[in-house]
A = this chain, B = another copy of it.
Amino acid sequence: MKKILFGFSCLIMLMTCQEQTKFKSLKVTNINELNEALKNCKAGDHIILANGIWKDVEIKFYGEGTKDQPIVLKAETPGKVTIEGASSLKLGGEYLEVKGLYFKNGYTPSKSIIQFKISNDTIANHSKITQCVIEEFTQPDRDVTDHWVEFWGRHNELSHCYIAGKSNFGPTIRVFLKGNEHIKNYHQIVNNHFGPRPRKGGPHGETIQIGASDTSMTPSHTIVANNLFDRCNGEVEVISSKSNFNEFRNNVFFESEGSLVLRHGNYATIDGNIFIGNDNSKFIGGIRIINTGHWVTNNYFYKLKGESFRSPIAIMNGIPKSPLNRYNQVTDAVIAYNSFIDCKSPWQFSVGSNVSQSEVLPPSEIRSARPERVVMANNLIYNEVPDEYPIINYDKVDGVTFKNNITTSENKSEVQPEGLVTKAISVNKVSEHLIVPSENINDIYAGFEFESISKDIFRTARTSTQNSIGAIVNPVPENTVLIDKSKYGTQWFKAEVSRAEINTFNVSTAEELKSKLNEATSGDIILLNSGHYNLNTALPINKEITIASNDKNNKVELIFSSEKTAFEMHPKGKLILKDVILTGNKAQNAFTTLDKNMSKAYDLKLENVDISNFKSVLEVSKGSFADSITVANSTIKNCDNGFMLNKETNNGGDYNAEFVTINNTYFDNIGGTILDFYRGGYDESTIGGYLKFNENTVTNSGKTQKDQILIKNRGIVNVELSNNTFENNPVKFIAILWGEKGQKPVDNSIKNSGRIEIVQNLELKLMY
């Protein structure tokens, strides 16, 4: 008996020792304790951050874990550890794991929030960040560049995270390949939920960028799989792949205003992804292809209406012998077994062809090299409402082989290959957004190495007896949904916040107005009782707020004697002003953004507003950005200037507002320019700036405009100018439009004013 007992106790001791060696678990409550714990950490250790706010912490997590015994840094309770203020996390060593942290209310003081290296000599490998959230941890100044997650080293992972709300310069996720330590990295970016990234107004707003042009020759092997890209609208490239052998599998791109772009580098695999658009947006893109050897298979495109750069499949023209950072010719691409459901003109070839611009661009910028050795086979184009132009070509299509593709509409495109046949098919709607042919269409083209496409989008085997053109082979597995939100992001964070109840306040005095404005929460409405309100301070707008006259037939007058501005626009400020009269004393602007730290976009909407006696109607600061400025049914008189969206002058393709819409509004006696909306720099890949200036009347304006231009829209890509009346404006030009972008005046009435000029090709400073 003694013997047995002795043996038993030994066993317990051994177990305890092993347990200790394996799982030293240490809870820390502040940065000093954490640093101490990190200094001594060993393979298998778990360091636990106590719940609470961790403010202004720059964590350097160095350790040498092993495959079986990683070193873990985790939240006591996932989501209950918030990293706030000027904070960051850098990792170095081997087999590290970080779990459950929540970055919010702050921004990084360095170049990144999370970085897989501590220094060039201390790089992380085989390490992962999982179950974490980064939410609006964005720089106060949008012009300051950072990345939220920087990948360095090899075999690192970002998984099951929720990341949203970056509004400053710089891709959200950036993979670096500068140095042999970082190539062949096989990083995994998987099962994340990339929440909304707002429009940035210019380039450098990607959600993921893998490599850069100067390392675009490196083998990267980064894997981006099973992520949800949820309204990632930062710029035209949701993902910018700039290195070799990257893989993009089974991601969902949901209403994201951009494309998965193979910008540099070669031999990407894009398999099994889902692109969801809608009937209203031309901004939601698909896949844009540049360079050599890409395979695009088993992808499902639904209701994409994007054109040119943002078309479902955009195959670009290259620059012959392109410089490293420009556009290589597309060669040896395979686009096979994809489904295009209710898309518009899904196949666009020689996108970016700009031979016509050879007079304003140097030869090294002319994209004249057409795609070569491209195979498009076994694809399905289905349209409930016929789309008779499945193909748009911006140059001759002579390097593309079409085999065994089907469209359900008649093909009236200029390009009518034998390998694209019109055929009626019946379909089933399996679940939301998911439309599948009722029967397999098994007249398959067997191209070179097509046997490697052995499964469909839902991993159903493609066999000699069971196969189909398009992304989907019948039978579809039971209960298949296109977007299963449980697969993406953390287990603990709810991305959808239900909107708080909307309050409506009635006010009768200036003081009440100020007080309720301060008190209100986002979305609230302030109704002004009739009368005149004298305001000697500016009204700050830092939330969504509606201010309107209670009786729209009896407009309230707000009379400003404030110093700089009537309304001060803050980040996230959304002002809807209705049925009011704004009167200044020429000492201030009507609307002005903060001078700096406009970290987020603002919006301005004027409906039936009469504005007079201000310096400018709108003045903005350099880093500021309005998502939309909408003016309708208003009058604007006796101001020095109108809307001045002209401070983003770095000539890097950036601009101060995305959508500017001015409609049925009367401008009279505006001394300078009605609108100055500026985008500088030649960058064909930022395609924004939208101006609609329709049905307005402008009189007696532009007297003091030194360039003698009434409406300035230099470099803005999309401009409408129609049904306006211009009378007695002493300028040379009403506006100068950009012919190459299809801008032209329509039905304007011009009397005793300047003329509307069209310049075919704008001379622009080359950005590259």
- Report the minimal beta-carbon distance from A520 to chain B, rounded to whole angstroms: 52
Q: Pick the contact of A180 from B183, B291, B323, B449 — CB < 8 Å?
A: B449
Binds B, one of A87-95, A324-332, A628-636, A745-753: A324-332
In whole angstroms, what is the CA distance A373 to B180 when docked?
9
Are B323 and A179 within 8 A (Cβ)? no
Which B residues are in CB contact (< 8 Å) with A267?
219
Across the interface, which residues of B come within 8 angstroms of A322, CB to CB? 323-324
| Complex contacts, A217 vs chain B, CB 8 Å | 217, 244, 266, 291-293, 328
Cβ contacts under 8 Å, A448 to chain B: 180-181
CB pair B324–A328 under 8 Å, yes or no, is yes
Instruction: Give Cα A323 to B323, complex, Å.
Output: 4
Which residue of B has the minimal Cβ distance to A333? B180
Q: How far is the CB of A447 from chain B (nearest CB, A)?
A: 9
Flag whether A514 is at the interface (Cβ < 8 A): no
A373: chain B residues at CB < 8 Å are: 178-180
When A217-B266, A266-B217, A364-B364 are in contact, do A293 and B323 touch as well, CB less than 8 Å?
A: no
Dominant secondary structure at the A interface? loop
Whether the pair B292, A332 counts as a contact (CB closer than 8 A) is: no
Q: Is the CB of B324 within 8 A of A321?
A: yes
User: A213–B293 contact, CB under 8 A?
Assistant: no
Query: Which residue on chain B has the smallest CB distance to residue A369?
Result: B214
Q: Most chain-B Cβ atoms within 10 A of its Cβ — which of A213, A217, A334?
A: A217
For the complex, is A220 an interface residue (Cβ under 8 Å from B)?
A: no
CB-contacts of A179-226 with B (<8 A): 179-181, 183, 213-215, 217-219
Rounded to whole Å, the gap between the CB of A263 and the closest CB of chain B is 14
Given A218-B293, A219-B267, are A332 and B179 neighbors across the interface (CB < 8 Å)?
yes
- Whether B332 pairs with A213 at a CB distance below 8 angstroms is no
**What residues of B have a CB within 8 angstroms of the CB of A179 in the complex?**
332, 373
Task: Give the chain B neighbours of A266 by CB distance below 8 A.
Answer: 217-218
- Binary CB contact string for chain A from 264 to 308 against chain B (1 if under 8 A, 0 otherwise): 001100000000000000000000000111000000000000000
Cβ of A321 and Cβ of B323 under 8 Å apart?
Answer: yes
Question: Do the beta carbons of A364 and B324 come within 8 Å of each other?
Answer: no
Q: Contacts A217-B292, A218-B292, A267-B219 given: A180-B321 contact, CB under 8 Å?
A: no
- Mark out the residues of chain A between 575 and 629 whose CB falls within 8 Å of any chain B CB in the assembled complex: none
CA distance A364 to B178 in the complex (A): 23
**Which B residues are CB-close (under 8 A) to A329?**
214
Q: Which of A181, A183, A332, A364 has the most CB of B within 10 A?
A: A332
CB of A294, distance to nearest CB on chain B (Å): 11
In the complex, chain B residues whose CB is within 8 Å of the CB of A213: 321
Task: Report chain B residues within 8 Å CB of A449.
Answer: 180
Q: How far, in whole Å, are A326 and B214 apart by their CA atoms in the complex?
A: 15
* Residue with the greatest number of chain B CB neighbours at <10 A, chosen from A213, A291, A324, A448: A324
A180 B293 Cβ-Cβ under 8 A: yes
User: Which residues of B are found within 8 Å of A364, using beta-carbon distances?
Assistant: 323, 364
A449 CA / B373 CA spacing, docked (Å): 37
The digit string for A23-64, where 1 denotes a CB below 8 A from any CB of B, is 000000000000000000000000000000000000000000
CA distance A322 to B332 in the complex (A): 22
Chain B hits for A332, CB < 8 A: 179-180, 183
Which 10 pairs between the two chains have the least Cβ-Cβ distance?
A: A321-B324, A321-B323, A321-B325, A217-B266, A180-B332, A217-B292, A323-B323, A179-B373, A181-B448, A322-B324
| 11 cross-chain CB contacts under 8 A | A180-B373, A213-B321, A217-B266, A217-B292, A219-B267, A321-B323, A321-B324, A321-B325, A322-B323, A322-B324, A323-B364
